[in-house]
């Protein structure tokens, strides 16, 4: 897909390789049921804020993070596939609901070795949630190697 230099930016939340959401081995994400975006196959366990805004939720199992940007768009980071089953093991949140964050602020430390040892897929969807996607007129995605807090992996233009 052609990556245009227009629209609001969402950066990679983790170091690694950004892949198309359709390539994720989980129908809920691949089918874009919970929203649209990319997934990161992480090379390190530090997760950062992909946008500036307010932490709208931290999942009770510490593997999901929602951030609502100042424009009202909510972005979800879901660290790993089926990691809800770990009940928080291997995840150390660095934020809580209501915290204000800037792009690149650390939101979670993840022990990827724990996930791998228990045979969990570390692929981490980064999406604009289904509750927000209807506000988006155009979404452009970028795949390939990505640096957390730096590489733009999505751009979106809001409906007027």
Question: Can you give the pTM of this predicted structure?
Answer: 0.95
pLDDT at 74: 97
Q: Residue 46: name the closest of 8, 102, 93, 115 by CA.
A: 93
Per-residue pLDDT reduced to its tens digit, 4-63? 567 899 999 999 999 999 999 999 999 999 999 999 999 999 999 999 999 999 999 999
Report pLDDT for 103.
98
Using one digit for the tens of pLDDT, what is the confidence trace for 79-113? 999 999 999 999 999 999 999 999 999 999 999 99
Catalytic residue among 39, 67, 75, 78, which?
A: 78
Rounded Cα distance between 27 and 39, Å, is: 13
Q: Is the pLDDT of residue 149 over 70?
A: yes
Note the pLDDT of residue 2.
46
Q: Is 63 annotated as catalytic?
A: no
The closest alpha carbon to 150, from 7, 15, 23, 19, belongs to 15
Tell me what the pLDDT averaged over the chain comes to.
95
Go through the domains of the chain in sequence order and give each one's CATH number.
8-158 (2.70.70.10)
The confidence band for 160, taking pLDDT boundaries of 50, 70 and 90, is confident
């Amino acid at each position: 897909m052609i990556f245009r230099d227009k629209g609001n930016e969402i950066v990679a939340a983790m170091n690694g390789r950004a892949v198309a959401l359709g390539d994720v081995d989980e129908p809920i994400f691949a089918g874009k049921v919970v929203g649209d975006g990319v997934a990161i196959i992480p090379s390190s366990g530090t997760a950062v804020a992909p946008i500036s805004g307010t932490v709208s939720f931290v999942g009770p199992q510490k593997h999901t993070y929602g951030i609502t940007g100042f424009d009202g768009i909510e972005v979800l980071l879901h660290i790993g596939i089926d990691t809800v089953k770990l009940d928080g093991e291997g995840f150390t949140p660095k934020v809580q609901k209501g915290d204000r964050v800037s792009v690149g602020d650390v939101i979670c430390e993840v022990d990827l070795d724990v996930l791998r040892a228990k045979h969990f897929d570390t692929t981490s969807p980064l999406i604009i949630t289904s509750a927000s996607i209807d506000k988006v007129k155009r979404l452009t995605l970028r795949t390939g190697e990505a640096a957390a807090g730096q590489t733009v992996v999505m751009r979106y233009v809001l409906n007027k």
